[in-house]
Structure 1
C-alpha cells in the first residue's frame, strides 16, 4: 500500500512537471528552428531511443494481450494487432501534419482556424493518454517512471516548438493551455479509473506510432539543418541509461 501511495505522489510530481513544460516552453529562447537547436536534436534522439528500447519491445506484451482478446470476428486473421495499431497512430499523425501544411498554403483564415482546433484536439488526446499512462503504466521501479518522464518531457518541448511554429499566437492563447489541462485530466482519470488491459494495449500502441512520427518529422527535413551528432548523443546516452537501469 505504501509503495502505491509513493508512486501516486511521484506520478503527480511528474504530471506537474509536464504541465510546467507546456506553460514555460515559449520562454525557452535558446531553441531555434534553423539551424536546428542542438537541444531539439538531443531531445529527438532521447525520444527515439525511448520508443525503440522501451515502447516497441513493450508492444510484445501488449500483442499477447490483444491476441487473447481478439480471437474471433474481423480481426481474427490479423496476427500483429499491436503493430498495426502503432502503424495507424503514425499514419493518423502524418495525416494531421499534411492537413496543417496544406491549410497554411491556402492562406484561408477560417480554414486555418478549423485545422488548428482539429490539430489541438488530437494532441489533447495524445497528452491525456500520456498523463493516464504516467500513473497506470506498470513500471519495474520508480526509476522506470522517471525515465518515462524524462523522455516525454523533452518530447513535449519539441512538440510545443512545432505547434507554436505552425499556429503562432493562437497556440499560445489557447493551445498550450488545453495541452496543459489534458495532462492533468489524463492523470486524474488514471487515479480514479483503471481501463482493461486490452484498451491500455491499444492506446499504448497508438501512442508509440504517434511518437515515432512526431520525432522523425522534426528531425528529417533537410532545411532544418539538424545536428546528427546531437541526435546521436541523445539517443546513445538515453539508451545506455535505460539498459543500465
Structure 2
C-alpha cells in the first residue's frame, strides 16, 4: 500500500512542479525534452505494444466466444482518433481574437488532459503488476506527465499556474482512487488500457518527439536504447 501511495505522491509532485523541475535542473530544457522523448518512444515499443498484444490474447480467451483478433487494437485506434479530434477541435478556437477565447481553449485542453491523466493513473494502479514493475514503469509515465505539463505551461503560463497544474494532478489522484475502490475487472481494464495506449501514442508523437531545433540527439538516442535494454533485461531476469 505504501509503495503505490509513494508513486502517487511522486506523480502529483511532478505534475504540480514540472516547470520548476525542468527550469531549475542543470540538464536544461532541451535535454529534458529529449530524455523524456527517448524514454517515451522506448516505453511504447517495449511495453505498450507487447502488453496490448498480450491483452488482446487474454481478451479473446475470456471475453467472448466469437471474439475477433483485433478488438483491443480497434480501441487503441479509437484512442488516437478521439484525442486527435478533440485536440484539433480545441485548436480551432485558439487563433480567434480575444483573451477570453485563448483562456477557453486552454481550459478545454486542460479538461482533456485531466481525463487523460485519470485514465493513465487508473491503469497504472489497477493493473496486476508487482511493486517493482509499478515503480520502474512509473519513470516513463512520470516523465510523460512532466512533458505534457510543461507544454501546457508554455501555452498559457498564468492559467497553468492558477488552475491547470492542479487539475492535472487531480486527474492522477482520482484515477488512483477509482483503481483502489472499484472491483477489479480484467475486461474493463483491457478496454481502458487499449484506449489509453492509442492516446499515449498520439500524445508522445505530438508532445515528446523533439523537433529539430529543440532536440539533443545523443540524449534522445541514449535514453531510448538504455531504457529499452534495461526493460528487456528486467523482463528476462524477473519474468515480467
RMSD of Structure 2 on Structure 1 (CA): 2.3
Q: 1:95 aligns with which of 85, 89, 93?
A: 85
What are the ranges of 5 or more consecutive residues in structure 1 without an aligned counterpart? Answer: 1-7
Deviations 1:32-70 (A, max 9, x none): xxx961111111111121121111111122213443425
Deviations 1:203-235 (A, max 9, x none): 111111111111111345746432232211111
Q: Structure 2 CA distance, aligned partners of 1:96 and 1:228?
A: 31
Residue of structure 1 in register with 2:167 after alignment: 178
Residue of structure 2 in register with 1:40 after alignment: 33
Q: Structure 2 CA distance, aligned partners of 1:108 and 1:195?
A: 47
Q: 1:17 aligns with which of 10, 24, 29?
A: 10
1:145 Cα deviation after fit:
0.9
Q: 2:106 aligns with which of 113, 116, 125?
A: 116
Q: Structure 2 CA distance, aligned partners of 1:80 and 1:203?
A: 15
Contact 1:59 1:205 in 2 (8 A): yes
1:182 Cα deviation after fit:
1.6
Q: Structure 2 CA distance, aligned partners of 1:223 and 1:97?
A: 23
Q: Structure 2 CA distance, aligned partners of 1:169 and 1:71?
A: 53
Deviations 1:50-106 (A, max 9, x none): 12111111112221344342556xxx6x64111111122122222233234332222
Q: Structure 2 CA distance, aligned partners of 1:110 and 1:104?
A: 10
Deviations 1:162-188 (A, max 9, x none): 111223211221111011122111112
Q: Structure 2 CA distance, aligned partners of 1:239 and 1:221?
A: 19
Contact 1:88 1:209 in 2 (8 A): yes
Distance change in 2, residues 1:229/1:142 (3 Å): same
SS in 2 for 1:138: coil
Deviations 1:88-129 (A, max 9, x none): 212222223323433222234343333323222221121112
Between 1:191-200 and 1:144-153, the stretch displaced more is 191-200
Q: 1:69 aligns with which of 52, 63, 71?
A: 63
Q: Structure 2 CA distance, aligned partners of 1:205 and 1:224?
A: 33
Q: 2:137 aligns with which of 148, 164, 179?
A: 148
Between 1:109-118 and 1:38-47, the stretch displaced more is 109-118
SS in 2 for 1:103: coil
Do residues 201 (structure 1) and 164 (structure 2) align?
no
Residue of structure 2 in register with 1:189 after alignment: 178
